[in-house]
Structure 1
Amino acid sequence: MASAFAVLNETLPAPGWLLVGATALLAAAVSATSFALLTNGGQFVLNRANVLGTLFHEGGHALVSILTGGGVFRIEITGAESGLTWHWQPSPFAGVLATASGYAMPPLAGLGAAALLHRGLVPAVLALTTVAMLFILLFTRDVLSAGAVVVVGAVAFCALRWAPGWLKNGIAYAEAWLLLTSELGGLGALVANRWRGVSGEHADDAASLAERTGIPGFVWIAAWLALIGWAVWHAVPLLWP
């Protein structure tokens, strides 16, 4: 136990602006990069490559389901920016919280990582990421999902144990930026789907919340965008040297 606390309280010197800027640009490129995917219906849709945000998105559903007295049957990662969490809740209000937490979790986790990095607690960010991946792994039942979780968890764990300080900083700062920006692409896809009238939009979180609460889906999308903006606004001063 003592060693665990020692890791969580270990600090590293703050990196220079070059590393911080490079990781910010990397995260922006990953979050903005998209690739065309042909669906079964013969339509091309754009997926983005930020799988870290997807893991935290689905993990957010699972965590809030458990914290509100419900449970999780399964987490499945179906692509870099798509996944499903089968969960149950003891009340309608708990169901709303669990559903809304998906798009809220990555930016909030990114802000939390920024707060830790501002204090130099780089190992804590990597250790907590490893724990988060172990939590998600408990609910994975297929090879693709387990593989994605294991790869991310292994990168964080190996960096924590063996990487030099500059590499630990690089991975932790890249993670913070990726989490802060990851859901912009997903929310953009929700807006684009509604604009184009793409079939299947009834399955997304905003539509599910609209059905549960009577509050239109675009209001939920706007709220998530506002949350991302708030998180980024507060995280940038913490991350920038």
Structure 2
Amino acid sequence: MASAFAVLNETVPAPGRGIVATTALLAGVVVLVSLAAPANGRRSVLYRANFLGTLFHEGGHALVSVLAGGKVLRVEVTGAESGGTWQRIPSALAGVLIGAAGYAMPPLAGLGAAALLHRGLVPAVLALTAAAMVFLLVFTRDLLTFAAVAAVGAIAFCALRWAPHWLRDGVAYAEAWLLLTSEIGGLRVLVLNRFRGEAQQDDAAVLAEYTGIPGFVWIAAWFALIGWAVSRAFPLLWP
């Protein structure tokens, strides 16, 4: 197999509009399914595509915690839109950065993937995805999280190593679209929980405690970030 440097710099021709449109439609359907999903009960297979966003969400907490000098104890994914990261936080500022990183990471990662895909760096997107899953494995302590991390890493690695070019492109573009939009359903749940008056232990509540800024403001900021990322990524992804 080519060296890591060669893989990260390998460029491929832009895919046709069919692949880009199909993967964008897939992400759109996943968002609609997520928005329509009941609070309890059976969830569709498409809904489970949000595991990708959840892994990057928790990975965002873990990465910023490491960069801020904290200690990550465990990362756990409990469902397609639920999980947790346990860490020792060195300071209040680090706590704010770590708390904000969760919902920010998937759309920013999606925008980064879009920038790479625009330059034809499909192999780099897949290689970096596999590397991100290896990073998460370091903090994985339960079977469900291990299965989710291993599945995403295996898909990225197999697409990079053995898939025909059209399938490799499809996997990379689907990942970019899904990351850009995956947190919409989760943020919708945060909003609904607040309207129902339910007690909150989510990222917005943690940030409100650290900063005194209401949780709704943080949720609105994450929604705005998603909108900005999608608006910047669309012209990069559309051929």
Q: Distance in 2 between matches of 1:70 and 1:16?
A: 44
Q: Which residue of 1 aligns with 2:38?
A: 36
In 1, Cα distance between equivalents of 2:69 and 2:42? 36
Pick aligned residue for 1:236 from 224, 230, 234: 234
Deviation, structure 1 residue 30: 1.7
Q: Secondary structure at the match of 1:159?
A: helix
The DSSP-based 3-state class of the residue aligned with 1:33 is helix
Percent identity of paired positions between Structure 1 and Structure 2: 71
Give the Å deviation of 1:36. Answer: 3.4
TM-score relative to the length of structure 1: 0.93
- Total equivalences in the alignment: 234
Q: Match of 2:15?
A: 15
Amino acid at match of 1:194: R
Q: 1:169 to 1:46 in 2, by over 3 A?
A: closer
Distance in 1 (CA, whole Å) between partners of 2:42 and 2:103 is: 20
Q: Helix, strand or coil for the counterpart of 2:38?
A: strand
Pairing of 1:162-173 with structure 2 (within 5 A) = 162-173=162-173
Residue identity opposite 1:11 in structure 2: T
Deviation of the 1:71 alpha carbon:
1.4
Q: Which residue of 1 aligns with 2:196?
A: 196
- SS of the counterpart of 1:236? helix
Partner of 2:113: 113
Q: What letter matches 2:223 in structure 1?
A: L
Following the alignment from structure 1 to structure 2, what is the Cα–Cα distance between the partners of residues 90 and 75? 18
Which contiguous aligned blocks of 4+ residues in structure 1 show a shift greater than 2 angstroms?
34-38, 44-49
Correspondence for 1:222: 220
Structure 1 letter corresponding to 2:38: A
The root-mean-square deviation of aligned C-alpha atoms, in Å, is 1.7
Q: Answer 1 or 2: which has greater strand percent.
A: 1
Deviation readout 1:3-30 (Å, 9 max, x if unpaired): 1110011111101111100000001112
Per-residue CA deviations over 1:47-75 (Å, capped at 9, x if unaligned) read: 94311000000000000000011110000
- Runs (5+) with no aligned partner, structure 2: none
| CA deviation map 1:177-198 (0-9, x unaligned) | 000000111111111111122x
